Amino acid sequence: MPFDDNEFDDGTSDDTTKVQLDLWKRLFGYALAYKRELAFLIVAAIATAGVEVSYSLFAKWVVDDVQANGMNASFGLWAGLYLLCNLVVAVSIGGFEWIAGRVSCYVSHDIRFDAFVNLQKLSFSYFDRRPVGWLMARLTADCDRLTGILSWGFVDMIWGFTIMVGLTGAMLVMDWRLALLVM
């Protein structure tokens, strides 16, 4: 088949293509148009990571409480705090999944709109050399991939960074010598 992805030369090579930072900067510009949603994503990711870090601290505090007070330990308090933490995690994860999905749709729409405007400006000879169906399929697939990276990658970066800093802080608070040994 003359126009499948393996046979079609689009002018790039996997071996010579390098990461272009200005291109990623332009792509993040599409996401930055939705600052309010991105701010919510940051807050939700930090809240999720913070609560997930607190689970290990709660386990330590419960063990310390049981060790100190035996059967008189505050099990109701710990159970209530644990349920509250689970509620916060559920709400924040649900929130950032919903908002990240919206940002993904919005950014995908904006990128596709600009791409189609650009395609309409090209000369007819461009389309004589490249099959239109292949261009449309490639554009759609690339937009989906890019918006997935922009929305979910942003959430994963914030969440991952926050949880690593939080776990490092928790280890340093518990036993700084052991934490330094682990790091």
The pLDDT score that the predictor gives to residue 136 is: 85
pLDDT at 19: 75
pLDDT score of 24? 82
Q: DSSP string spanning 80-134?
A: HHHHHHHHHHHHHHHHHHHHHHHHHHHHHHHHHHHHHHHHHHS-HHHHHHS-HHH
In this prediction, residue 40 carries a pLDDT of 92
pLDDT tens column, 114-151: 988 988 888 888 888 888 888 888 888 888 888 888 88
* CA-wise closest residue to 140 among 165, 111, 178, 120: 111
Checking if the pLDDT of 17 tops 70, the result is no
pLDDT greater than 70 at residue 59: yes
* Residue 109: band (very low, low, confident or very high) from pLDDT cuts 50, 70, 90: very high
pTM, rounded to two decimals:
0.73
Q: How far apart are alpha carbons 24 and 153 in whole angstroms?
A: 13
Per-residue pLDDT band at 56 (split at 50, 70, 90): confident
Going along the chain from its start, the domains and CATH numbers come out as 24-182 (1.20.1560.10)
The pLDDT-based confidence of 88 (bands split at 50, 70, 90) is very high
Torsion of the alpha carbons at 156, 159, 164 and 170, rounded to the nearest 10? -160
